[in-house]
Structure 1
Amino acid sequence: MANMCPYGRFTHAVVRGIPESFGKTAGDGRENDEVTVDQAKAQRQFGCLTGALRQKVGLQLIEIPPDPELPESWRIEDVAVIQGDTALITRPFKQQRRSEVDAVRRVMSELNLTVVEMGDEQGDSGGATLEGSDVLFTGREFFVGISSHTNRRGAEVLADTFRDFAVSTVPVCGGARLKNFCSMGGPNTIIISNSDGARKTLRMMEQLTDHHYEVLTVPEGSAANCIYVKGPSKRDFLLHRPAEECPDSVSVSKTQLPLYHKFSLGK
């Protein structure tokens, strides 16, 4: 494998607004029975996120308007995996979500990235499904969670697209996505939740990798879903949930993570 730089500096962030249909499942129009939908809170959190990315991190923000016909389109990371100057346009598991890629594809082209299409059911990647929330890029390699959203054929397409990096597949139990319980907390640090499923996935990752990573286990499962950013001003940032939601995990991260700038997304 090529000796690639662990991370490049971030310059842009692409986000998509919260639609009025937030909390409904794509394709059936029903509200998700597993969560209590709070539209106002979601809008506030989205505002905190965009404000932090623009004002604190210093990124150029590209905001795609919400589409009420696409209730899950706010999960924008699902429809593109970007590394270097290449953007892989994915194929979400649900047929009803696949039109989400159109607006994202246009933005990737406007940013002059090399756009790779996963293709249709009859193409070379026929049968592949891949969602970006099942993809963890460590700066050295990719881990792809095999879940109810992403299959092995999807992981193979990703490996074929980013050939300079090793790509390993790991199991994800239930309806979760890999980055629900596992994310990067720094260039060499993996943050992971303390659940049985997360520990099983971590053991598999340790068996598959040739690299060494520090591992920070956090008590609350949702606290493991963070965003590590190398900002354009040569400062590193970690975006995480507020202390009110994950008090034990925030205290752990303050003492055990490197001394780069950390801030929460607020309520």
Structure 2
Amino acid sequence: MSSVDVHQYQYAIVSKIPESFAVNAHRLNPQQPIDLALAAKQHDEYVDVLRRLGIDILELPPDERHPECLFVADTAVVINGTALMCKPSDRRIGETSIVRNSLRNDLGLRIVEVDNEMAKLEGTDVLFTGKEIVVGLGEFTNKEGAQCVAKAFPEYAVSVVKLPKEIRHLQQAMTMAGPDIILVNRGNLGQTCLQEMISHSTFAYRVTRVEEREAANCLYANGVILHLDHSSIPDSYPVLESKFDNRLGLEYSELLKGGSYLTAGAILISKPSSYSKTFQTSLEKGHHEL
């Protein structure tokens, strides 16, 4: 049986792109320049799609001091009306203040702070499946950060996955593509993360494997899967086309150059009443291909 789809969202916090993004953001290939005008156009289209899904947008101004401020999802984890403010790397810690204010003052969410000085935590290392929470441990999130996640959301089981050094964040290796559906890269790195997750999980999920590493990052919201367009993932696009009906491919080339990806660009927020805290706990453990 499928769980209630908790990936129904009413609000999203996003950030405009600062001009410093083209020069100072973490670039996957420093030799490949970023077209800032095209990046802004692609980001505007991304935000417009969220609006068309019925999501009210709270758009933060660009922060030139923080070229990666558009990766807002790294600053907070929001589940069941509680916002856990993350503790990103030192160069990004200043991004959290404006997000905290918006979550508290504009949306009235309960704010929880990381209370461990040793903790490192970025939001795209946290995967909420609807039934449990998985935290990726790597360069930007450590076990103390994962403990803070468990403390903030005691109603969910929390497990950890050790990320291979080639994977910067858990959501680059796997994301949710629907209720109980995990999208993961077919390569060794993605499969390593998946198998470790499976070994800790007591729930059943369906798994769809894609070819390009970038294709494993999709944004599932309000019944629609947002994924990269054909030009970015030519080998994976036919897989997504054949497996899913409600989907939309987005041009995201310039944002990818700057180290962004689809789930990083928005903090998606549900009204607490849209969640059901009663989950099935008797699902038979097992994972299979769609």
- TM-score band, normalised by shorter chain: 0.7 to 0.9
Unaligned stretches of 5+ in structure 1? 119-123, 231-235
Q: Report the alpha carbon displacement of residue 205 of structure 1 after superposing the two structures with TM.
A: 0.7
Q: Report the alpha carbon displacement of residue 266 of structure 1 after superposing the two structures with TM.
A: 2.4
Give the Cα separation in 2 of the matches to 1:195 and 1:149.
22
1:163-182 equivalence runs, <5 A: 163-175=154-166, 176-182=168-174
**In the alignment, which of 178, 184, 191 is matched to residue 183 of structure 2?**
191
Q: Report the alpha carbon displacement of residue 47 of structure 1 after superposing the two structures with TM.
A: 1.0
1:115 aligns with 2:102: no
Tell me what 1:67 maps to. 63
User: Percent identity, aligned pairs only?
Assistant: 34
**In the alignment, which of 47, 58, 75 is matched to residue 79 of structure 1?**
75
Q: Report the alpha carbon displacement of residue 174 of structure 1 after superposing the two structures with TM.
A: 1.7
Q: SS at the partner of 2:118?
A: coil
1:118-140 Cα deviation digits (max 9, x unpaired)? 1xxxxx41110100111111000
Contact 1:6 1:140 (8 Å CA) reproduced: no
Give the Cα separation in 1 of the matches to 2:17 and 2:195.
36
CA RMSD of aligned residues (A): 1.7
Tell me what 1:266 maps to. 251
Q: SS at the partner of 1:239?
A: strand
Tell me what 1:252 maps to. 239
Give the Cα separation in 1 of the matches to 2:248 and 2:5.
23
Q: SS at the partner of 1:248?
A: coil
Give the Cα separation in 2 of the matches to 1:218 and 1:25.
31
Give the Cα separation in 1 of the matches to 2:101 and 2:157.
28
**In the alignment, which of 196, 199, 205 is matched to residue 213 of structure 1?**
205
Matched AA of 2:38:
K
Give the Cα separation in 2 of the matches to 1:50 and 1:33.
23
Give the Cα separation in 1 of the matches to 2:217 and 2:28.
22
Contact 2:103 2:109 (8 Å CA) reproduced: yes
Give the Cα separation in 1 of the matches to 2:39 and 2:128.
26
1:45 aligns with 2:36: no
Q: Report the alpha carbon displacement of residue 248 of structure 1 after superposing the two structures with TM.
A: 2.2
Unaligned stretches of 5+ in structure 2? 253-290
1:91-170 equivalence runs, <5 A: 91-92=87-88, 94-109=89-104, 110-118=106-114, 124-170=115-161
1:75-119 Cα deviation digits (max 9, x unpaired)? 100000000110000000x2121110011001101201001111x
Matched AA of 2:59:
E
Count of paired positions: 246
Give the Cα separation in 1 of the matches to 2:67 and 2:226.
24
Q: SS at the partner of 2:236?
A: helix
Give the Cα separation in 1 of the matches to 2:123 and 2:23.
20
Q: SS at the partner of 1:129?
A: coil
Q: TM-score, normalised by structure 1?
A: 0.88
Give the Cα separation in 1 of the matches to 2:112 and 2:17.
27
Give the Cα separation in 2 of the matches to 1:180 and 1:67.
24
Greater than 6 Å deviation, 4+ residue runs: none
Contact 1:6 1:138 (8 Å CA) reproduced: no
Give the Cα separation in 2 of the matches to 1:248 and 1:48.
24
Tell me what 1:21 maps to. 20
Tell me what 2:193 maps to. 201
Greater relative contact order (Cα < 8 A, sep 6+) = 2
